[in-house]
Amino acid sequence: MTGVALKGLLARRVRAILTALAIVLGVAMVSGSFVLTDTISKAFDSIFTSSYSHTDAVVSGRKLVDYSTGGNTTVSQTVLERIKRTRDVAAASGALIDLNGDSTHANLIGRDGKAIQSNGNPTFGFGIDTSQPRFNPLKLKEGHWATGAHQVVIDAETAKKHHFAVGDTIGVAASGPKESFRIVGTATYGDVKSLGGATLAVFTIPTAQRLLDLHGYSVISVAAKPGVSADRLVSELKQEVPASAQVRTAKEQANEDKQGVASFISFIRGFLLGFGGIALFVGAFVIFNTLSITVAHRTRELATLRTLGASRRQVLRSVVLESFAIGLAASVIGLVAGFGLARGLSSLFGALGLTLPETSSVYATHTFVISLVLGVLVTVLAGFVPALRATRVPPIAAVREGAVIQRKKRLGPAAGVVLFGIASALIAYATLGGHLGSGKSLLALAGGALLGLLGVAGFAPVLVTALASVVGIPAKRLGGAAGGLATDNATRNPARTASTAAALMIGLALVTFVAVLGKGVHGSVDRAVNKQVTADWVVTSQNGWSAFPAGAGRAVAKAPGVALASDIRSDRGRIGSANVNVNGIDPATIARVYHFDWRQGSNATLVRLDGHGALVKQSFAKKHHLVIGDDFTLRSPAGKPVRLAVAGIFQPPRVMELLGGVVISREAFDRTFPRPSNSLTLIEGSPTQAGLDKALAAFPDAKAQTKADYVKAQSSFINTMLNLLYVLLALSVIVSLFGMVNTLVLSVFERTRELGMLRAVGMTRRQARRMVRHESVITALIGAALGLPLGIMLAAAVTHALGKYGVTFSLPVASLVIFTVAAMVAGVLAAIAPARRASRLNVLEALQYE
């Protein structure tokens, strides 16, 4: 019986391959996601591990604040001396290496005078004591290490990509204006093949300290004397270091370093797997549909098997075995295709400016297991209902034409309505509760969307006839008789048309959702930025959101035409145990370039920002029970405290807040925070672009834009994000395209005789082709007619929930038109092969076809 099932599958191999394609892409996405993230993860692993390969203990500044731009506290030279004198220490070496924070960054300048790295990837600037090679995580590739104040070693990858060689001069900009250095060598980070988009500049310790404006070291690596355990060394060192420093074993430190990266990687993995899941979900529809049609075609064969003594269980097993075989073959192909797709995903991220470090590709066991199990499971589950249907084929169908499978009453529509009801309730729960973003409500939202799609797919057969008669109008008008027949064909088997269309519906609904939501968010970002900024020009870092040297603000203030330039400093601080954004502003000028939404106080309040006074964001004040006049202590990332009193309360928009948390005067900020840097410099006046560019020439990391351009740039990341989502969702649309090809091929095959008859009574080949094509377009349009409203409804619910962030509902009409046209094009594409087949039928053979 197994043999019989497999031979049957072999005989229908074209159909089997078409079916399998539906699952290949989904599996490829899953396997690709794993390969990519495992590879990235291994690259980071080896970065972190090679950082401490000959180290037993690591001393570093205690981390008080997350995501600080100024960096953690450093460890002083005196502490290093003391560590070196500790009993069981064989060697110790200080370095300026901060892999996770922002404190050791130095921008390399390309030959065009612009920063090599401008889209937010790390630009590491390290100071390394190369006299102690055992602590050096870098490997020299060419030349020698920096020994003088004007020497630098850069990473080999950047050198190659940007055509720098040993002996060349290169510009470097860190916390001050750019300076020139001579490249004396190139290096790699451990065995890491590519640092992704990151660049690396290595200086002598004193040069790095000066460039980075850091005192002491960010990290001290310690090696124990032979026979001394790392733990013992750590406890000894703990006696020696001040409270501002912490001691960890090298292993602990590596794990600690990895943590942030690990959660970032698992986010990316989950994100990509989500799209794999959607593609698999769509694939399941396609498989379900194809196998249903196949089972219907095989009624007589299955019934004959029953009369020959096959039990229901055997029939079930043979159909399940078939889907298992299809699933397995598809999963194996998908798994391997995923290895290639991983490269594609990596370049996709690269195109969006997110280049991640890589080593040679990692093919982990879990990639194989999960991809294969998932692919097979989805296929078998999707094939289970058709398999059950096959068991209901009565043996008498072997002899009696038209003996249809006895159906229990059709459950689809009723179940669909129920599912849709549950889905609506879940979505309402998620979006009306006012706490979208909590795990529970996001889960409810995702579940609701999923059930909603299933629900619509369930009752779609009821809608097909009505929808087809509407979307079929153009076909009738344009296609004449062939167009009319196409509409009839599409409604002949509503269940089949419905589930074919449903596969496309899923992709279209999600694309629509993303487009509508994207437009809403875009609008809210635009409004938020527009409202806050009243300046004429804005200086930001190249990527628009990183910090840039405070010196750039001073430089730009002297540019011709600049009436005033108001710097906004930015870092993170700590109040009690809470982290908070802190901004330093110039109280005298800020009101001319920034609009405060005052809750308590007015622009006159600003004069009270004298070093003690602070403005507090309303939501922060509420949460920490602060009222006007209250005293509180703010700590810098270095642990330095400052006493503040609430002078005024304001509320920035909930998205794109340019000032937030706690706002103090720039003087107070600069006194309190190490390495103060700007997030923005707001300019009033009418300077020229050329004038500002000239003023900023020494600060290649900063750029000046008009307010309008700045606003546009701020929301452009949304477009980037939308494009990424479109590309990833396109995958599931392609899967549904396979489904359409499948259904059409099978329908044409099924109607061979009828097509022969039509041709015999005078239908031309062209008309036959047109008939199939119109049917395909009608199916695609039904998919659009179901998917677009569904996506819009979902987006409406979510925009409602995001209302407090200023997100409003508005239809991206142009995008919706494009999606509909794309669906029609998809219909035409899907029809190419089936239509050709229909038109090439030999009339005589077709008529005899049984």
Q: Report, in Å, the least distance between residue 747 CB and another protein.
A: 20
Q: Is 190 in the site for another protein (CB under 8 A)?
A: no
Encoding tokens for residue 115?
């920063």
Written as one string, the DSSP assignment of 335-387 is HHHHHHHHHHHHHHHHHTT----B-S----HHHHHHHHHHHHHHHHHHTHHHH
Of 243, 308, 761, 813, the residue at the interface with another protein (CB under 8 A) is 308
Written as one string, the DSSP assignment of 154-200 is EEHHHHHHTT--TT-EEEEESSSS-EEEEEEEEEEETT-SB-TT-EE
| Pairing of the two strands 179-189 and 199-203 | unpaired
Q: Report, in Å, the least distance between residue 522 CB and another protein.
A: 57
Q: Report, in Å, the least distance between residue 303 CB and another protein.
A: 8
Q: Which helix (H) or strand (E) holds 43?
A: helix 13-51
Of 131, 169, 311, 438, the residue at the interface with another protein (CB under 8 A) is 311
Of 396, 411, 470, 478, the residue at the interface with another protein (CB under 8 A) is 396
Tokens 């001040």 sit at which residue?
Answer: 242
Cβ count within 10 A of residue 77: 14
Of 260, 344, 395, 611, the residue at the interface with another protein (CB under 8 A) is 395
* 230-240 vs 77-85: helix crossing angle, rounded to 10: 130
Q: For residue 567, give the 3-state DSSP assignment.
A: strand
Q: Is 314 in the site for another protein (CB under 8 A)?
A: yes
Q: Is 14 in the site for another protein (CB under 8 A)?
A: no
Site track for another protein across 365-394, x = CB under 8 A: -----------------------------x
Cβ closer to another protein: 76 or 304?
304
- DSSP H helices, 802-839, are 813-839
Of 8, 26, 334, 523, the residue at the interface with another protein (CB under 8 A) is 8
Q: Report, in Å, the least distance between residue 319 CB and another protein.
A: 15
Of 304, 530, 706, 808, the residue at the interface with another protein (CB under 8 A) is 304
Q: Is 134 in the site for another protein (CB under 8 A)?
A: no
CA-wise closest residue to 464 among 499, 432, 436: 499
Q: Report, in Å, the least distance between residue 743 CB and another protein.
A: 23
**Residue 491 to residue 107: CA distance in whole angstroms:** 64
170 strand-pairing partners: 181
Q: Report, in Å, the least distance between residue 301 CB and another protein.
A: 6
Q: Give Cβ neighbours of residue 722 (< 8 Å, ≥ 6 apart).
A: 514, 515, 518
Q: Is 716 in the site for another protein (CB under 8 A)?
A: no
Q: Is 3 in the site for another protein (CB under 8 A)?
A: yes
Interface size with another protein, residues (CB under 8 A): 26
DSSP 433: S
| Binding segment (CB under 8 A) for another protein, from list 147-155, 250-258, 306-314, 339-347 | 306-314
- DSSP H helices, 222-311, are 230-240, 250-297, 299-307
Site track for another protein across 529-558, x = CB under 8 A: ------------------------------
Whole-number CA gyration radius for the chain:
33
Amino acid letter, 558: K
Q: Is 4 in the site for another protein (CB under 8 A)?
A: yes
CA-wise closest residue to 95 among 70, 124, 63: 124
Q: Report, in Å, the least distance between residue 309 CB and another protein.
A: 4
Of 27, 234, 398, 516, the residue at the interface with another protein (CB under 8 A) is 398
Q: Is 10 in the site for another protein (CB under 8 A)?
A: yes
Encoding tokens for residue 298?
């095989």
Q: Is 309 in the site for another protein (CB under 8 A)?
A: yes
Of 105, 306, 522, 769, the residue at the interface with another protein (CB under 8 A) is 306
Cβ closer to another protein: 133 or 394?
394
Q: Is 630 in the site for another protein (CB under 8 A)?
A: no
Cβ closer to another protein: 313 or 409?
313
**Residue 638 to residue 653: CA distance in whole angstroms:** 29
Cβ closer to another protein: 5 or 475?
5
Q: Is 399 in the site for another protein (CB under 8 A)?
A: yes
| Binding segment (CB under 8 A) for another protein, from list 305-313, 435-443, 457-465, 716-724 | 305-313
Q: Is 244 in the site for another protein (CB under 8 A)?
A: no
Cβ closer to another protein: 307 or 810?
307
Encoding tokens for residue 617?
């964001």
Contact 210, 127 (CB under 8 A): no
Of 173, 245, 305, 744, the residue at the interface with another protein (CB under 8 A) is 305
Cβ closer to another protein: 298 or 836?
298
Backbone region of residue 501 per phi and psi (left: phi > 0; alpha: psi in -120 to 50; beta: other values): alpha
Using a 10 angstrom Cβ sphere, with 0-12 exposed, 13-18 middle and 19 or more buried, the burial of residue 17 is middle
| Binding segment (CB under 8 A) for another protein, from list 172-180, 255-263, 309-317, 410-418 | 309-317
Q: Report, in Å, the least distance between residue 321 CB and another protein.
A: 14
Encoding tokens for residue 591?
């009101």
Cβ closer to another protein: 382 or 398?
398
Q: Report, in Å, the least distance between residue 397 CB and another protein.
A: 9
Cα-Cα-Cα-Cα dihedral sign, residues 743, 748, 751, 752: negative
Of 1, 149, 425, 690, the residue at the interface with another protein (CB under 8 A) is 1
**Residue 578 to residue 573: CA distance in whole angstroms:** 8
| Binding segment (CB under 8 A) for another protein, from list 210-218, 395-403, 596-604, 687-695 | 395-403
**Residue 845 to residue 756: CA distance in whole angstroms:** 8
Written as one string, the DSSP assignment of 624-635 is TT--TT-EEEEE
Cβ closer to another protein: 8 or 61?
8
Amino acid letter, 223: A
Of 85, 312, 599, 643, the residue at the interface with another protein (CB under 8 A) is 312
Site track for another protein across 263-302, x = CB under 8 A: -------------------------------------xx-
Q: Report, in Å, the least distance between residue 746 CB and another protein.
A: 17
**Residue 503 to residue 496: CA distance in whole angstroms:** 11
Q: Is 310 in the site for another protein (CB under 8 A)?
A: yes
Cβ closer to another protein: 306 or 774?
306
Contact 96, 214 (CB under 8 A): yes
Cβ closer to another protein: 243 or 308?
308
Of 235, 259, 307, 347, the residue at the interface with another protein (CB under 8 A) is 307
**Residue 820 to residue 502: CA distance in whole angstroms:** 15
Burial letters 278-294, b for 16+ CB under 10 A, else e: bbbbbbbbbbbbbbbbb
Q: Give Cβ neighbours of residue 193 (< 8 Å, ≥ 6 apart).
A: 43, 358, 359, 360
Q: Report, in Å, the least distance between residue 318 CB and another protein.
A: 10
Q: Report, in Å, the least distance between residue 448 CB and another protein.
A: 40
Cβ closer to another protein: 399 or 821?
399
| Binding segment (CB under 8 A) for another protein, from list 303-311, 479-487, 800-808, 836-844 | 303-311
State how far the alpha carbon of 205 is from the alpha carbons of 47, 93, 96, 97, 595, in Å: 21, 11, 7, 10, 43
Contact 304, 403 (CB under 8 A): no
| Binding segment (CB under 8 A) for another protein, from list 304-312, 362-370, 716-724, 822-830 | 304-312
Q: Which residues bind another protein (CB under 8 A)?
A: 1, 3-4, 7-8, 10-11, 300-301, 304-314, 394-396, 398-400
